[in-house]
Amino acid sequence: MPESRKPRISRWLHYAAVNRQRGMSTAEYAVGTIAACAFAALLFKVVSSTEVQEMLTSLIDRALNTATG
């Protein structure tokens, strides 16, 4: 191996050893993605319910009427 590559590899090995617990592994990404999808589905279900839609419509109507009135 050429001498010019040794410092680069040495720096990379040092960085990898020091920062080996940073970030998520593939399994953690999978679990995080599933949790995010489940939360999105729950949020969609709540926001698309009749009660929440009526509340949001009322809020928007009040905001528009306040601005014009």
Mean pLDDT of the chain, nearest integer: 82
Domain total of the chain: 1
Per-residue DSSP letter, 5: H
pLDDT of residue 26: 83
Tens-digit pLDDT profile for residues 40-54: 999 999 999 999 999
Tens-digit pLDDT profile for residues 8-34: 778 877 777 776 666 667 888 899 999
Q: Give the DSSP letter string of 56-67.
A: HHHHHHHHHHHH
Mention every residue, 6+ apart, whose C-beta is less than 8 A from residue 9.
1
For residues 45 and 52, give the distance between their C-alpha atoms in angstroms, rounded to a whole number.
10
58: containing domain? 5-68
Tell me the whole-structure pTM to 2 decimals.
0.48
For residues 24 and 27, give the distance between their C-alpha atoms in angstroms, rounded to a whole number.
8
